[in-house]
Structure 1
Amino acid sequence: MAFEAELFPDDILSRAEAHPKLRARDLAHEIGISEAAFVAARVGQAVTRIDADPDRLLPAVEALGDVMALTRVEACVHEKVGRYANYHPGAHAAMVLNEEIDLRIFPSHWAHAFAVETVGEDGGVRRSLQVFDRAGDAVHKIHLRDGSDLSGWESLVPALAREDQRRVQPVEPRAPVEGPKIRADKADILRDEWAKLTDTHQFLRLCSKLKMNRLGAYHTAGQPFARRLDPASANKVLQDVREAGIEVMIFVGNRGCIQIHSGPIGTLRPMGPWQNVMDPGFNLHLRLDKIAELWAVEKPTQRGPAVSLEAFDDAGGLIFQIFGLGKEGRDSRPQWGRIIEAQSGLQEAAE
Structure 2
Amino acid sequence: MPEPTLYERYLELKKQGVHQRDAVARLGVSEGELVAAFPETQYLGGNCADFLPELEALGEVKSAVRNVAALSEKTGIYRNLELSPMMGTAINLGGLDLRLFMRHWKHIFAVRNGEARAFHFYDTAGKAIQKVHLTEAAAIPVWERLCAAYRTDAAPVFETPPEAAPYENVELTDDALAAYREEWKGLKNVHHFRIVLSQFGIDRLQGLEYAPEGDAQKLKREAVEFIFRQCAARGMTLLVFVNNSGIVQIQTGQVHHVDRADGWLTVSDFAEEKFNFFLDDAKLAELWFVRRPGSNGIVHSIEAYDDRRNLVLQLFGRPADAEAESEAWRALIAEVRQQYGL
Distance in 1 (CA, whole Å) between partners of 2:321 and 2:202 is: 36
Comparing 177-186 with 300-309, greater Cα deviation is found at 177-186
* In 1: Cα distance, 2:320 partner to 2:210 partner: 32
Q: CA deviation at 1:243?
A: 1.3
Q: What secondary structure, in the 3-state scheme, does the structure 2 residue paired with 1:140 have?
A: strand
Q: Which residue, 108, 112, 115 being the options, matches 1:117?
A: 112
Give how far 1:248 is off: 1.9
Give 1:170's match in structure 2, choosing from 154, 158, 167.
Answer: 158
Q: Distance in 1 between matches of 2:123 and 2:186?
A: 37
Which amino acid counterpart does residue 113 of structure 2 have in structure 1? T
Q: Which residue of 2 aligns with 1:287?
A: 280
Where 1:300 maps in the other structure, the secondary structure is strand
How far, CA to CA, are the matches of 1:239 and 1:150 in structure 2? Answer: 38
Cα distance in 1 for residues equivalent to 2:257 and 2:108 = 33
Describe the SS at the equivalent of 2:201. coil
Does the Cα contact within 8 Å between 2:89 and 2:99 map onto a contact in 1?
yes
CA contact (8 A) 1:68 1:82 kept: yes
Q: Which deviations, in whole Å up to 9, do the C-alpha atoms of 1:134-168 show, x marking residues without a partner? A: 1111011101124551111111111121241x3x7
Deviation for aligned residue 1:330: 9.6
Q: TM-score, normalised by structure 1?
A: 0.88
- Structure number having the greater helix percentage: 2
Is contact 1:71-1:139 (8 Å) kept? Answer: yes
Match of 1:4 in 2: none
2:30 matches 1:30: no
- CA separation of 1:259/1:208 partners in 2, compared to 1, >3 Å: closer, same or farther? same
Letter paired with 2:108: A
Q: CA–CA distance in 2 between the matches of 1:293 and 1:18? A: 36
Residue 272 of structure 1 deviates from its aligned partner by 2.8
Residues in 2 aligned to 1:177 and 1:66: alpha-carbon distance in whole angstroms = 41
Instruction: Give, in whole Å, the separation in 2 of the partners of 1:29 and 1:215.
Output: 27
Report the equivalent of 1:337: 330
Deviations 1:267-299 (A, max 9, x none): 112113200111021011001111121111011
Distance 1:188 1:72 in 2: 37
Deviations 1:35-80 (A, max 9, x none): 11111112xx211111333321211111111110111111100110
Look up the SS of the partner of 2:261 in the other structure: coil
Match of 2:236 in 1: 246
* Equivalences, count: 331
Residue segments in structure 2 that go unaligned for 5+ positions in a row: none
List per-residue Cα deviations over 1:319-348 (Å, max 9, x = no partner): 20011115999965321121111113544x
Shift of 1:255: 1.0
Deviation for aligned residue 1:177:
8.2
Q: Is the 8 A contact 1:197 1:203 kept in 2?
A: yes
Residue of structure 2 in register with 1:183 after alignment: 171
Q: CA RMSD in A?
A: 2.3
Q: Secondary structure at the match of 2:290?
A: strand
C-alpha change, 1:346 and 1:115, in structure 2 (3 Å) is same
Provide the residue aligned with 2:63 in structure 1.
69
1:1-351 counterparts in 2 under 5 A? Answer: 11-20=5-14, 21-42=17-38, 45-99=39-93, 100-119=95-114, 125-147=115-137, 149-164=139-154, 166=155, 169-173=157-161, 176=164, 179=167, 181-185=169-173, 186-221=176-211, 223-280=213-270, 281-325=274-318, 333-343=326-336, 344-347=339-342
Q: Aligned equivalents of 2:171 and 2:130: distance in 1? A: 34
Distance of 1:92 and 1:108 partners within structure 2 = 6
Report sequence identity in percent: 28
When residues 174 and 325 of structure 1 are mapped into structure 2, their CA distance, relative to the original with a 3 A threshold, is farther
C-alpha separation between the residues in 2 aligned to 1:322 and 1:64?
30
Query: What SS does the corresponding residue of 2:228 show, helix, strand or coil?
Result: helix
Unaligned runs of 5+ in 1: 1-6, 120-124
CA, structure 1 residues 326+257, in 2 after alignment: closer, same or farther (shift >3 Å)?
Answer: closer
- When the two structures are superposed, what TM-score results if normalisation uses the length of structure 2? 0.90
